[in-house]
Amino acid sequence: MLCMLYTYILGYGCTFIITKIEKRYSWLEEPKKKLLLHFFSLAGFSFIVSALLFYGFAYIMFNGGKGLTLMEVLNQAKLPAFISVSIAAFFTGVDFLKNWKTETIRAERLEKEKIATQYESLRNQVNPHFLFNSLNALSELVYENQELAVEYIRQLSQVYRYVLDSRNREVVSLYEEIDFMESFIFLQKIRFGNNLKVTIDVDKSDSRYILPLSLQILIENAIKHNEISEENPLHIVVNQDDNYLSICNKMKKKRSMDKGTGIGLENIKMRYKYLAERPATSQEIDGNFIVKIPILEGQP
């Protein structure tokens, strides 16, 4: 009976301690601290439980534990505590190796997804079609409106500078991304004129963060997949909904379009899956395509 009680208390208590430590510390970021905390927490708990149970047993069996000294209690608790700590240390080691490997694989996957997203954005910006359209628009502006052509060159350089500056950053401030989007939209407006309208209703004073280039990829997707003409103008709305940014556009799919890689939106979702508790989502509602991405609290 005593052995069953001892095993139950020890097993339940160790499980509770491990669960609490797992939620608070990461094997990847703080492996040494977590390993030491695991060991000493389990060792201390095992020793205290062993000592208390031995004292309780002696109290019941030997006339209320009279004449039993603290040193005798501690000495008798050493062996069961040592066995318990040894078992706990073994399972802690196994758990460390398993979780450290899992965290390492997850970090590598996140890094690959980050690189893939960066590549997708760079590919969208420097592919021959984008360059051709940009240079074609610029060549027309040079003859028609030199002042606007100078502004076009300035905004184009802003776009490329931001793409290069943000490629190694995990997150960027909301106002940086919105400033970049204004330059990007300026270029697209020169190309599509009044057939393209982008409304951004976001608080630029918000001090939180989002993934770099995420808005650009989503707006680029809307432009790439939908018809833009006088008969069917494209209106994209970006607004702030509490802890999310919402990107919405009416769906009017092109009859024919170049096949894309399709990794832009999916990589944004995967990166948010690892960086935030709230997921990025996309859905079609009443002919509208809506993507929601979380606004992050973390520092860049």
Amino acid at 159: V
Distance separating alpha carbons of residues 271 and 80, to the nearest angstrom = 47
Distance separating alpha carbons of residues 9 and 22, to the nearest angstrom = 20
Which residue do the tokens 């500056």 mark?
165
Amino acid at 89: A
Has residue 182 got a pLDDT over 60? yes
Backbone angles phi, psi at 283, to 5 degrees: -160, 160
What pairing do the DSSP bridges indicate for beta strands 172-173 and 209-210?
antiparallel
What is the band of 68 on the pLDDT scale with cuts at 50, 70, 90? low
Are 289 and 282 in contact by the 8 Å Cβ rule? The answer is yes
CA distance readout (Å), 268 to 18, 205, 290: 33, 24, 14
What is the band of 92 on the pLDDT scale with cuts at 50, 70, 90? low
The string of DSSP codes covering 77-120 is HHHHHHHHHHHHHHHHHHHHHHHHHHHHHHHHHHHHHHHHHHHH
Judged by average pLDDT, the poorest of 78-87, 163-172, 173-182 is 78-87
> Domains (ranges, CATH) in the chain?
2-108 (no CATH), 127-294 (3.30.565.10)
Higher pLDDT residue, 234 or 58?
A: 234
Q: How far apart are the first and last CA of the chain?
A: 56
What is the predicted pLDDT for the residue at 105? 74
The residues pairing with 299 across neighbouring beta strands, listed in sequence order, are: none
Judged by average pLDDT, the poorest of 12-16, 80-84, 116-120, 216-220 is 116-120
Kind and range of the H or E run holding 291: strand 288-294
Nearest one of 232, 133, 210, 108 to 166, comparing CA atoms: 210
Has residue 186 got a pLDDT over 90? yes
